Chains A and B, each alone.
Chain A
Amino acid sequence: MTGQAVTSAEKAATTLSIGKALNNGLRRAMEDDPKVLIMGEDVGKLGGVFRITDGLQKDFGEDRVIDTPLAESGIVGTAIGLALRGYRPVCEIQFDGFVYPAYDQIVSQVAKFHYRSRGQVRLPIVIRIPFGGGIGAVEHHSESPEAYFSHTAGLKVVSCANPNDAYWMIQQAIASDDPIIFMEPKRRYWEKGQVDTDGEPYPLHSARVLRPGTDATVVAYGPMVRVALDAAAAAVEDGRELEVIDLRSLSPLDLGPVYDSVRRTGRLVVVHEAPSNLGLGSEVAARVTEKCFYSLEAPVLRVTGFNVPYPAARLEEEYLPDLDRVLDAVDRSFGW
């Protein structure tokens, strides 16, 4: 059944892409628990349009890796029924912009069963969504809908930004009894990094300081973590040490490390691809202002996508926050 399973010799520290790390994480979750199912469009023979489920149907069979009809509400709605029956479905939504047909099932059903049942029903469902732009795609393939789901009580929302987190966070999400929206940074699927398959995973709903710094704090998640790290590297040339924090969990937010950081640096820049208006950055800014008011040397600044529909591919470089826009915001913070 698991002919392609990672052998113990290959375990410990290996170099994997984020996509392959997710694939290995899914495989391990399926090995660990026979109730774990994968369901979605093209997840079987094709292995998903991004090949995240590559080889899983071959090894676990068509009953556990289910190519579904092409209807997102149906995917999530039937996953609820399977979860009521004792299964742990992992749904793949093919692209961010295709999740909206499933919105009712996610927001009115998945999120609310536990509350409605006064704690008697658990729906351990993971909904994976490749999100964000930067791949030159057509309309509806580059969106960042995380705020819709983070706003909804009853859902938890996480995003991985590197292969080690991809490998562990997908397994932690599947093992959790909370319903989890798992946002995957699609433009980073091919980026490689070290994965410690034997180590102790970092807690799922914890933010993490990726680069210590003393002069300003930059908070990001998902595909923008790479941009923040690059900006921090470049800022050294300006004589500034930026502290970079990967939020990892978007709901609930773990802002303890951010408060600690801002109390030291006095300056905060939040970066995400989604538009600024009522985005995650707004919530971070509000909370940091509440908790760190006397530590702030400047207002919290946001570097985000513009408040327009996601633009055509030849305009996305202008739309997407990049290293220069992050450094510009850092400059503005210092100029306050």
Chain B
Amino acid sequence: MAKGQPPARDGRDDIAPEPEFVQLLNPEGERVEHPEYSVDFSDEEYRDLYRDLVIVRKLDKEATALQRQGELAIWASLLGQEAAQVGSGRALRPQDMAFPTYREHGVLYCRGIDPIMPLSLFRGVDYGGWDPAKYKFNMYTIVIGAQTLHATGYAMGINLDGRIGGGNGSGDDEAVIAYFGDGASSQGDVNEAFVWAGVFHAPVVFFCQNNQYAISEPLERQTRVPLYQRAAGFGFPGVRVDGNDVLATYAVTRAAMDNARHGQGPTLIEAYTYRMGAHTTSDDPTRYRIASEVESWQAKDPILRVHRFLTNQGLADDAFFSSVEEQAAEVATHLRERVLSMPEPDPMSVFDNAYPNGSPLIDEERERFVAYQASFAEGAH
């Protein structure tokens, strides 16, 4: 044991060997009742959730393949976290604002955003920027945890605008969701976001996908208490949900977002899940975790359980499942084609958009660079 490790208490020092969480659909595909949370989906909506999960996984797989073939510089896979992202993403209402990390491809898809949008970031064409106001989905944030403060400030703005608690009387009150991970929970910014959100009673939901690893470091290196319990110290509720259960993540997120928009302040949701793949394509998880652990999580696969549920309940047949596979393959092929046909950036665009009002220093550099480039033109000496 390394120096500085606390001794085991009561013969055990695991933080959460068998975590209690909100679960509505178990790994066997059976509906589980919960005293507080439930869903009321139509047959079609259950099938739609399944379709989302499959498409999101397929897109992710395609992006990983594109990286392996040298078409993307890097890819941060969401494999294993589809339910956490589809469940929470579908729980948002159109007027809600989301602040993602760089792994929320599933949430992005559920917001109705073209999955090609962030790919220019991973291909290195540009930084993948879009207008967050247009899509109600902020740009990917790479510095760990920084976006939780942006989300909280945005939520404070909702308060200032009187857009919670029926203040505007039009029934379209707003709330914000901030995504982050177990590693980010150690960041000062995340803890400051909790302080601000609590103090200002901001309509923000902190959605932590606890995928058990911050690159190589296990959860035990980030915390001695279950993450959702931290909320109590900041004065708002925390709830742990089975992050591999799309129904539970939907129900818990929908309730927390509605609480926020109704003026009841923030919630911390810990979606207990598992990163089945590597941190990114640059990572090698075999160096820090054993195969049996991965296998145990495979049994809790977020898609398999919905497949079982649909089958057992007679909500879908083989024809449906095949059509979903076909649709996913089409979407992935379309994504691949568009990645390969992305235009190379204009060299001069390096100087664009540093400042809204421009800068004479950059203008001077641009001018000099144009002349330098021109010096290579045919006939120049």
Residues of A within 8 A of B (CB): 37, 63, 68-69, 71, 73-74, 76-87, 101, 104-105, 108-109, 113-122, 153-154, 156, 176-178, 252-254
Contact = CB atoms under 8 A, between A and B. Distances in A.
A120 B131 contact: yes
A73 B188 CA distance: 8
Contacts of B189: 73-74, 77, 104-105
A118 B134 CA distance: 14
A81 B155 contact: yes
Interface stretch (B51-59, B329-337, B352-360): B352-360
B143 A252 contact: no
Given A116-B139, A154-B354, A176-B357, A77 B132 contact: no
B269 interface: no
Contact of B149 (A77, A117, A177, A178): A77
A77 B146 CA distance: 7
Interface in B119-177: 126-133, 138-139, 141, 143, 146, 148-158, 160-161
A245 B143 CA distance: 40
A270 to B, nearest CB: 18
B143 A253 contact: no
Nearest to A176: B357
A274 to B, nearest CB: 20
A156 B195 contact: no
A120 B155 contact: no
A86 B153 CA distance: 11
Given A117-B130, A177-B356, A178-B356, 17 more contacts: A77-B146, A77-B150, A78-B153, A78-B156, A81-B153, A81-B154, A81-B156, A82-B154, A84-B153, A105-B146, A109-B143, A109-B146, A115-B353, A116-B127, A119-B356, A156-B355, A254-B360
A303 B146 CA distance: 39
A115 B138 contact: no
17 contacts: A71-B188, A77-B149, A77-B153, A77-B192, A77-B193, A78-B152, A79-B153, A80-B150, A105-B149, A108-B143, A109-B141, A115-B353, A117-B129, A118-B127, A119-B352, A121-B129, A121-B131
Most buried by A among B148, B192, B362: B192
B199 interface: yes
Contacts of A80: 149-150, 153
Given A73-B192, A121-B132, A86 B157 contact: yes
Given A69-B192, A87-B160, A104 B153 contact: no
Most buried by B among A77, A119, A252: A77
Given A77-B146, A252-B359, A114 B353 contact: yes
A254 B353 CA distance: 20
A74 B196 contact: yes
A85 B154 contact: yes
